[in-house]
Structure 1
Amino acid sequence: MDTITLWAFVALAAAATLVGFSKSAVSGANTVSLAIFAAVLPARESTGVLLPLLIVGDVFAVYSYRRHADWATLIRLFPAVAAGVVAGTVFMLWADDTAVRTSIGAILLFMTGVTLWRRRAARKADEAGKAEKAGEGRGSARLKAGSYGVLGGFTTMVANAGGPVMSMYLLSAGFRKLGFLGTSAWFFLIVNVAKVPFSVGLGLIDRDSLLLDAALVLFVIPGAFLGRAVVDRINQRLFERLVIAATVVGGAQLLLR
């Protein structure tokens, strides 16, 4: 706290507000928060500071959409996600700040590519109807859940960036709006809470990080309420384009820093 300048705190506060907003309105906006935290703070420690704020946002999301979760999907995903979290923890054991900063930048750019691919695939799926989904076998569905789960667990442990991966999986599984929001809310609350012991063990969450969280959580809450208030009024296409552009800039900045 003593080494953070006023302008750095303002940037973190804006990013914390965006965390709350993303949890209740547009989940893709959270990637901008990741880039800001990793740019202002040491990249490795930024993941530990951000995690409790994400959990606060998850609580608001679960409260809003708690009745719309598909638990069969969650249970199918969790074993693979756990494997991905363990793999991410092993990576964090040896990764220094430079490696983590580079990894976060690469993951953000990769997730942006995934998001763009997902949107293109979704448009093609709408045009082709549900024939492909109907022909998907049980084994193929398990393989898809496993691959998405491992990648989601790894990216959420290393960079708190599992959102685009899980969004792509849930959309490809045919979830409608409320089912998507409810399943995603419960998924991230459970996974993020499960990550806390790993982050504590890695030294990413400690007394200093929690003091900073105590100051920043005051900005997450109004962000969540703001998201709920404006979610139906947002020009989704323009907002997603701005988020994608900001994420690319943030990811590139981390790679070139």
Structure 2
Amino acid sequence: MDFHIVVALACLFIGLSKGGLGGPIPVAMLTPLLSLIMPASQAVGLILIPLMVGDVITVMLYWRKWDLSRVKLLLPMAVVGIFVGEFVLLTLANSGQNIIIKRLIGAFTLIVVIYKVSDSLISRMHYEHRQWHGYLAGWLTGFGSALANVGAPPYTAYMLLQKIDDPVAFLGTTAIFFAILNAIKLPFVLSNSKVLDLHLLASILWALPLIPVGAWLGRKSVGYVNAKLFERVMLVLLFLLSVFTLVA
């Protein structure tokens, strides 16, 4: 597949997700998709910049609509998870173990599929909150985000169990939390050319304006596109992509 087509699709998918179409599934497709046409470590690093552009959009959309108490609970262990995940990523990248990184990306992507299939069951579970649940969810989110840009499943599962009544607060908290995580990851990614080649980054800057375009299309499409059908199609594609990444 042509590099420029994949990059354009990646930025468009980020925008669609930020605009409310498809949830986290389009974003979960990006790293494994890029890993099919470039070294897996570069795929992890390269997609971070477009994700951060998307973060700016969602933070602006949900400015001050977040619940900082939940961010404060999840963030400390998420930072620890990022440090561990980045250490593993940089170690594997420096030793040329891109096939292992690719398999890990496939495994984390498959977890997204499993989560999405079972999320309605999770939301109906009887649940008693424990403080350490937040610490564990934070750590897993940070680790998955650092290693494969796939931190949504543990975070979203934890948040669903909290039975948050206000969907705007849920979305706002998600926006600011992942914006912070991605900002923390940036220095690690920039520090190693095997994770982010700046020349490669410069070659995709033309596609970044597609992110706000995708966000606009996502918001406009919500009332017209069958969201459940779109999500199911994306989920099937994500499953196939995860399997291919695991075995190819």
Match of 1:221 among 181, 202, 212: 212
**1:181 matches 2:176:** no
Deviates more, 1:190-199 or 1:30-39: 30-39
CA distance in 1, matches of 2:211, 2:44: 16
Residue type of the alignment partner of 2:112: M
Q: How many residues align?
A: 240
CA distance in 2, matches of 1:153, 1:99: 19
Match of 1:54 among 41, 51, 56: 51
The Cα shift of 1:13 comes to 0.7
CA distance in 2, matches of 1:46, 1:229: 30
Match of 1:153 among 136, 142, 155: 142
1:92 corresponding residue in structure 2? 89
2:103 corresponding residue in structure 1? 102
Off by >6 Å, runs of 4+ in structure 1: none
1:79 corresponding residue in structure 2? 76
Identity of aligned residues (%): 27
2:117 corresponding residue in structure 1? 116
Contact (CA 8 Å) 1:44, 1:97: kept in 2 or not?
yes
Residue type of the alignment partner of 1:104: I
> Unaligned 5+ residue runs, structure 2?
none
CA RMSD in angstroms comes to 1.6
Deviates more, 1:238-247 or 1:228-237: 228-237
The secondary structure found in structure 2 opposite 1:161 is: coil
TM-score by length of 2: 0.91
1:163 corresponding residue in structure 2? 152
1:34-45 aligned at under 5 Å gives the runs: 34-45=31-42
CA distance in 1, matches of 2:169, 2:73: 16
Residue type of the alignment partner of 1:172: L
TM-score by length of 1: 0.88
**1:10 matches 2:5:** yes
Residue type of the alignment partner of 1:13: A
Contact (CA 8 Å) 1:13, 1:219: kept in 2 or not?
yes
The secondary structure found in structure 2 opposite 1:40 is: coil
Residue type of the alignment partner of 2:31: L
CA distance in 2, matches of 1:101, 1:67: 37
The secondary structure found in structure 1 opposite 2:196 is: coil
Q: Deviations over 1:224-249 (max 9, x none)?
A: 11112223444222122112111111
Contact (CA 8 Å) 2:84, 2:143: kept in 1 or not?
yes
More helix by share: 1
